[in-house]
Amino acid sequence: MTVTQDGARRAAAPGRADEFMTLAEPHRRELLAHCYRMTGSIHDAEDLVQDTFVRGWKAYGNFKGDSSLRTWLYRIATNTCLTSLEGRARRPLPSGLGAPSADPSDELVERHEIAWLEPFPSRDSDDDPATAAVTRDSVRLAFVAALQHLSARQRAVLVLREVLQWKAAEVAELLGTSTAAVNSLLQRARGQIEQIMPSEDDVDEPESPATRELLQRYVEGFETYDIDGIVKLFAAEAIWEMPPFTGWYRGPADIGGLISTKCPATGPESMRMVETVANGQPAFGLYMLGEDGVHRAFQLHVLEIVDGQVGHVACFFDLDLFERFGLPATYPG
């Protein structure tokens, strides 16, 4: 019997299995965020975390404590992600496809064959506010979308070094390369991120009084079907996009034109919203009134508020997301 087989056998013993799960389970949430940063998909991230736990459970008999269990699990999760990403295309948002902003009067074009970037159901840490802020920034939709432009190894290096604050030598050991190679990968990754995100917008705190007041106006605008009121909330260079539709729209006038001509709502009673949190930012499940008088799940809005205005809205039509965000299938009101 090999050492690995013997370790797996020991891990399979009920006591060892219980011990591993007890120690590993508190890290599940942060590992899920890590796998999401790497893949841009909550569906894939959940599967990869499960694979990480299975691999960790099997190898736990060989874990000698040379590092913390948390670091060991991150190594397994990162390698699992890298294997999963081999040969896969990046997950974009419509604005990342390379086409110019669309005309709201044009027909909508759906591309279901594209594996789109997905939102992440996040919540702030219950403990340190500084830690919560770092976590929130590291799963921002704009940041994860930018990561998708990097190779899988560049993503791993950037996330491990910049988000998790690993030393270059630790990353080099995980990737089986040199410290110099890690530093080179990090430099190139930073350069690409700076080109994609030339400046870091000062995103407003989601819980600030001014943001809360703005969000209330956003909800009221949709629920009363006040398109003029909605338009006033957007910044001059605001972006609206809604995968699986390929078009994206820039500026209040075009966003208002899109809502007025393409939204199936017919009046003040048509839409209702339920608040949630996605990618550390404000989000809302939007419910559309059906012919039977029931408001059903329609789309998920993820917002970024910048300098007191709505700077970006990504609307997702994947209704499976409602369950993942703890939102009901029909409006609870």
pLDDT at 37: 97
Q: Which amino acid makes up residue 182? A: V
Answering whether pTM is above 0.85, one says: yes
* pLDDT band with cut points at 50, 70 and 90 for residue 188: very high
- CA dist 323 and 204 (Å) reads 27
pLDDT at 114 over 60: yes
pLDDT at 196: 84
For the chain, give the percent of residues with pLDDT over 90: 83
pLDDT at 17: 74
pLDDT at 197: 77
CATH number corresponding to 209-324: 3.10.450.50
CATH of the domain spanning 1-88, picked from 1.10.3720.10, 1.10.1740.10, 3.30.1360.30, 3.40.50.300? 1.10.1740.10
Q: Three-class SS of residue 112? A: coil
Sketch the domain layout of the chain as residue ranges: 1-88, 209-324
* pLDDT band with cut points at 50, 70 and 90 for residue 333: confident
Q: pLDDT by residue (tens digit) across 227-260?
A: 999 999 999 999 999 999 999 999 999 999 999 9
Cα 314 to chain centroid distance, Å, stands at: 11
Residue 286: φ, ψ to 5°:
-100, 130
